Structures are given as structure tokens and as C-alpha cells.
Amino acid sequence: MFTGKQSWAFPTYPSILSSGVVAGPFEAQSPLKDTFDYIFDDRRMGENTFEKAQVVLMEEACQQAVQKAGKTMQDVAFIYGGDLINQDTGTSFAMRTLNVPYYGLFGACSTSMEALSLAAQAVELGAPLVLAGTASHYAAIEKQFRFPIEYGAQRPLTAQRTVTAGGAALLGPNGSNIIVTKSTIGKVVDHGIKDPYNMGAAMAPAAVDTILAHFEDFQVDENDYDLIITGDLGNVGRSLALEWFRQKEHPMPEAKFQDCGLLIYENAPEAMAGASGTGCSAAVIFGKILDDITNGRLKRVLAVATGALLSPVTTQQKESIPGIAHAVTLEAKGGSA
């Protein structure tokens, strides 16, 4: 049901039946590693290129989600997904083996919640089972957007490390204690940031814009949520977002405003300002956050995946970097307003 100016309410409360999260060997050091379903010990996942390795991450995340629900791919009506590799090939190539009708998306690192919102709509419209997922690979994405890791380029402190992980959620009309109740679709916001090593600054204004739009559309605020978590703003972006909230005369309590990019690597020096990548929010939200809701540590979460809509060509042409953010409300069943 369309609500306000840019939001959807889901009155039938689509359920998240299960999720799958897989990760690479560097992510085995994560404090969240126990919420991952499978960790590869080879950063190539047995393949001969990093791009093919990312395909494996997407395939395995979807398979994990379906198997945990006791289903097969033949039971799934649609998959919503996308990634950061040119033309979404990391996801599209995974669909060759998954063999499920596929909606290809590009929202950069906002793809996880874009896909989840659309999957919830599909379930409301009668689809029996729908997958939402994405994946990213550190080496593949660094090569495309910045430099191949073998080049050894120096990275500034504002840089973030792309997560090598895949995450997927399986949605159905009922059968779970975790439900999707609301979503707010973000606008493109561009404040003139041109540095591809400063994604947090490029995305922060979009995150604030979407969160405040969500509050307005549903007449709620941060007090209605146990946690508001962004996708991959990192240290720089989160600090800027908190300042932007203050400038908008809506100060946000720091303890309630967290970021997936800061949780997955904690203080690992290799991550610089934090984590990024489409797999970042997917791994944390479809792993730790759903686990916290399942076990009663959280009752209502606003998950806000953030994306920087740049390409290698636009960076070379000195274009600024547009940002976008999509928000989805996840709740424990019985805790909805």
C-alpha cells in the first residue's frame, strides 16, 4: 500500500522465512563470523577469476537461504538481485545455475534493501516464495572502481574495504516470526563529492534524506525503533550523517544509529574507514540483525542500505558521485505498530 510521498506499507506482513550468508577468508576474522552460514577458505572460491568467485558467493547465499527453509529453487517464484560488477554480471551469471525468474537491479550498495522491498511487494501480490540477495568481492570491485589489488595503490584514511560476502533472504506470505512491515524508497542525492575513495561522504546525505522521509511518511521517529542501521557509511559517513541530522534539527542518538560497515570489521586496520560493498549490508542484516530479532535482542529495526551511484567512466570524467538509500522496517511478529 503506497504511503506518504515515497513509501510502502505491507499490511499482510510478508515473512522472512530464512536467510543465507556466505563470506570470504578475510571475513573469517569478523566479530560477526558466527552469524555467517559458510566461510570460504579460498578467496577465489575455487574459480580462476575474482569475478567468477563473486558469482559463487551469490549462488551459495541463495542456496543456503532456500535449503534452510526446507525448500528448493523450483519452489521460488522470483529472485530480486544485483551487484557492482559491470552490467550486474556477478548476479546475472549466478542465475544461469539457479534457474529462477530474475529481476536484475542496480542500486550499488543499496541493492540489498531495494531487493528486499521489491520482494515484499511481490509476496503481497501473491508470489509464494521470493528471494532477495546480492554479493560483492573485494578484489573484483577494487579492480573495477579503483585499482587492481596487485598494484599496491596507497589508500587514504577515508577509503573503505569491499566485503567479500553474499547474503540472501527468502520471503513468503507467512511462516516466520520476522516480518517486513514498511519500506521507503530513496531519492538520488548529490552533494558534489567526487573522490571514489570517500564513499561514506557521498552516501551520507542520501541516508539522512531517506530516514527523515520515512519518519515523515509514517509519522514515526527514532524512538519507534530499537536500532537504525545504515549499510556502509563507515566512520566518515556516519559522522557526517550525525552532523547532517543535527543541521536538519533532528539530532539522532548515536547509540541507536549504527552502520553495517563498522560492525563487520570492527577496528580492523585493513578496513580503513570501514567496510563497503553490496555484500556488506546483506551479510550484516541477513545475518546478525535477523539473528538478533529472532532471539529477542531487537524487536523493530530500520535497515537503510546506502549506495554510491558512480561508475569508472563517470569517475574518469570527473563527475560527482550521486548517493541513494533505501529503508526497510524489519520486526518481530507481534511487535508491529
How confident is the model at residue 148, as a pLDDT? 66
CA distance linking residue 61 with residue 176, whole number of Å: 19
Helices (H), the chain: 50-68, 89-92, 95-98, 111-124, 138-145, 199-218, 234-247, 260-263, 278-283, 290-294, 312-316
Regarding whether 259 and 127 lie in a shared domain, the answer is: no
How confident is the model at residue 153, as a pLDDT? 67
Total domains in the chain come to: 2
Within-domain flag for 337: no
- Per run of 10 residues, the mean pLDDT along the chain (length 337 residues) is 97 98 96 98 95 98 98 98 95 97 97 98 98 96 74 75 96 96 98 93 97 98 98 96 97 97 87 90 98 97 97 92 98 73
Regarding whether 158 and 205 lie in a shared domain, the answer is: no
How confident is the model at residue 83, as a pLDDT? 97
Q: Which residues contact 217 (CB under 8 A, 6 or more apart)?
A: 3, 4, 5, 6, 7, 184
Q: What is the CATH number of the domain that holds 229?
A: 3.40.47.40
How confident is the model at residue 334, as a pLDDT? 79
Closest to 305 in 3D by CA, of 229, 250, 237: 229
How confident is the model at residue 298, as a pLDDT? 98
Q: Which amino acid is at 133?
A: G
Regarding whether 142 and 193 lie in a shared domain, the answer is: no
The pTM of this model reads: 0.96
Regarding whether 208 and 167 lie in a shared domain, the answer is: no
How confident is the model at residue 337, as a pLDDT? 43
